């Protein structure tokens, strides 16, 4: 055991569950390190074989885009030049906007509905996933995780704890040590009018929230402005995908590569639209670009829509049925999901939602 520095407050002892989590994370980091080495050798072999052709450069940069959108972004350095890497980082930070219109036909089969919730499987252009429509927006609330130390909560524990019947992940989280424990949200976390985490001061990050009457508010606001508008719950993420019915990605695919995705939007009739996409070859899906997610939002009538945290955090929970996790989360965690700082959850009634208190 490492000694505690003089004057420092000793850390609380870890539970058996937390010790198991630490061991698993160490094994995961070793696995990722080995995978990274394999990737470097593979890319080196491709470069030696003429991977610098115009076509090869396009493929290489597409791979780098996908890597740089993950928490192992540093691996992209090994398959890019310094100028290419700097350009990709700037693309990601600036969250550029995408193109117009809905491309291609959406193939839908096996949709089902339970009361105000409708869940639709979607498959298109190399990805698959789910669209969940919640026809009464007053049933949607942002729910905080029950955090233990720096560890967040599984959505399969969070939803039953508060009586929710469906939901998706919401905020991103701080992960300074690469443990993926998910206990510290990034950006604003406002639940039932109370601010539990401060605003992120970055113009590329949008606030997404809901008023008490179920109107989704999206844009750049102060906490005082949100309260004046009657916003109950709010958080921050990026990029904005649809604003006032107009597509926000007007160049390329958005510069985020292809990954598991989560997004939230609202149609003109108030229906809340959730999109969750499988990725990284889970369930036969390589993942979607932000443009493809935007196109799905437009397909289902979103007036406003914004991306949520993606990658291994993307998860769609539904209480009814044998498998409560409907998508295929990209994670090696034994539970098949990641710890989250919070989630957008759907309650069975407005009374049940009103009964939840952070």
Average pLDDT, the chain: 80
Which of 17-26, 78-87, 259-268, 343-352 is least confident? Answer: 17-26
227 backbone dihedrals φ, ψ, rounded to 5°: -65, -40
Task: Report domain extents, the chain.
Answer: 16-94, 107-354
In the chain, % helix, strand, coil (3-state, to 5) comes to 30, 30, 45
At residue 352, the pLDDT reads 95
Distance CA 231, CA 216 (A): 9
186: left (phi over 0), alpha (psi -120 to 50) or beta: beta
pLDDT at 211 over 80: yes
Residue scoring higher pLDDT (351 or 358): 351
pLDDT at 19 over 60: yes
pLDDT at 245 over 90: yes
pLDDT at 147 over 60: yes
User: pLDDT digit string (tens) for 288-312?
Assistant: 999 999 999 999 999 999 999 999 8
Q: For a pLDDT cut of 70, what percent of the chain falls above it?
A: 69
pTM recorded for the entire structure:
0.72
Helices (H) and strands (E) in the chain, counts: 7, 18
């Amino acid at each position: 055991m490492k000694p505690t520095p003089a004057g420092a407050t000793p850390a609380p002892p870890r539970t058996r569950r937390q010790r198991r989590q630490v061991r698993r994370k160490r094994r995961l980091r070793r696995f990722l390190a080995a995978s990274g080495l394999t990737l470097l050798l593979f890319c080196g072999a491709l470069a030696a074989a003429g991977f610098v052709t115009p076509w090869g450069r396009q493929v290489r940069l597409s791979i780098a885009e996908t890597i740089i959108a993950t928490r192992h972004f540093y691996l992209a350095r090994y398959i890019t030049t310094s100028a290419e890497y700097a350009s990709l980082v700037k693309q990601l930070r600036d969250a550029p906007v995408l193109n117009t219109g809905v491309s291609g036909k959406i193939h839908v089969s096996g949709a089902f509905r339970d009361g105000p919730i409708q869940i639709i499987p979607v498959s298109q252009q190399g990805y698959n996933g789910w669209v969940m429509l919640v026809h009464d927006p007053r049933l949607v609330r942002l729910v905080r995780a029950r955090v233990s130390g720096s560890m967040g909560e599984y959505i399969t524990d969070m939803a039953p704890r508060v009586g929710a019947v469906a939901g998706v992940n919401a905020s991103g989280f701080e992960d300074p040590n690469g443990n993926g424990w998910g206990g510290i949200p990034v950006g604003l976390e406002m639940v039932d009018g109370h601010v539990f985490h401060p605003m992120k001061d970055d113009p590329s990050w949008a606030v997404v929230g809901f008023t008490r009457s179920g109107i989704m508010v999206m844009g750049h606001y102060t906490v005082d402005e949100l309260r004046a508008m009657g916003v109950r719950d709010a958080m921050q993420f990026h990029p904005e995908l649809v604003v006032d019915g107009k597509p926000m990605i007007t160049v390329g695919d958005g510069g985020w590569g292809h990954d598991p995705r989560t997004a939230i939007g609202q149609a003109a009739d108030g229906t809340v639209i959730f999109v969750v996409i499988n990725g990284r070859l889970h369930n036969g899906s390589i993942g979607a670009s932000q443009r493809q997610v935007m196109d799905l939002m437009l397909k289902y009538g979103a007036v406003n829509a914004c991306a949520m945290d993606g990658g291994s955090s993307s998860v769609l929970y539904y209480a009814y049925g044998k498998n409560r996790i409907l998508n295929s989360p990209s994670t090696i965690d034994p539970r098949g999901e990641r710890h989250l700082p919070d989630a957008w959850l759907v309650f069975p009634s407005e009374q049940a939602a009103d009964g939840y208190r952070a």
